[in-house]
Structure 1
Amino acid sequence: MKLRTTTPRLLTTLAAAGTLTLAGCTGGDDGAVAPETVTATETAATNGDPAAPAAEATVTEDASAAPTDDVPADDLPYGPVGSEVTIAGESATVCIHGDGWGTNIWAGNANTSCEFVSEAHQALVEGLNATEDNIRNHLREQVTVNSPVTGQDYVLTCVPRGERLVTCSGGEGAAVHFY
């Protein structure tokens, strides 16, 4: 019998799924949502050899990292590229302005360069038709984006936040907003 080894990407996906599942299940009497940490551990035989020592990997995700609040479309600002705006109570910079894939504004928070926003945009719209496809109908829960600034890959978790706004967050406090 051949056993598959577990990849870090699979473990990240499992941890994110557990995080999203449990994110809505916490809270106190005051209605505040408490941060929840989910840890997924999976053990698999290495190199397809069932007799080999098992390799164990643990991925921990902070459930409070992915925003889940709905933001009304009327609260979404418009401004030219480079303008500072507030999106869902967070300071952001408008990086891309235009009509394609059902979006008008792509912005990044203070921890996100416009170059990274552009790379996230490219990763999310890959394979879509700008005039026919609305990105919300094809939104991937997670996307891996390479940062032109750090040269590293980061996994972003994308969450719809109302009818129009989508926030993809992850890495080291990065957030890419589009609507």
Structure 2
Amino acid sequence: MPEKRRPGGNTGVWWRLIQTAARAGEDMFVAPDARSVHRGNRRAPRTEVFRPCLVGRPGGDPDREIWEGIVLDLNRYGFRIRSFAPFVEGDLVTVQLMRDEEFKYPLSGVLTARVVRRSEAGGGLMDFGMELVVEPLSPTSRSGRGIRPAPPPSLSRPGTRMHLADYISKGRGNKNR
């Protein structure tokens, strides 16, 4: 005989556990111990890229230190970088994706990001979870064209206005109207 379901049972918990197991690569541990079942879901799925990049601290100083790194994966909110850089959580950094392994040709402009996670990868390398810092757009540059200036006030010309009746009467050859 099938078991009777009680309202408010653990069906929701069972579904969440299956969903978490199916997407184990997309989940992060929230609790520090590995046996914890409490995991947090990502805002967007990750895409593996293995793209060379240059990482440094923001600033216009030409003598500032820049480290080479590799972007392991990314999504629209941030990325994960493996590098020898000595960043800590909360640091503001600049990242530039590179086109080649020799770090000569840039692929993108300079992006600003904040370090939100840091973990050791072995051999002195560190993995950094970085969140992109998005600058708010001003209303004038949102469309790309800007706001048009107001046209100068037009001067009204006093003049004669022709009406449709004037055209009709001229077309018929009637000059009395």
TM-score range, shorter chain: under 0.3
Higher relative contact order at CA 8 Å, sep ≥6: structure 1 or structure 2? Answer: 1
- Larger helix proportion, structure 1 or 2? 1
Which structure: larger Rg?
Answer: 2
Tell me the TM-score normalized by structure 1. Answer: 0.26
Tell me the TM-score normalized by structure 2. Answer: 0.26
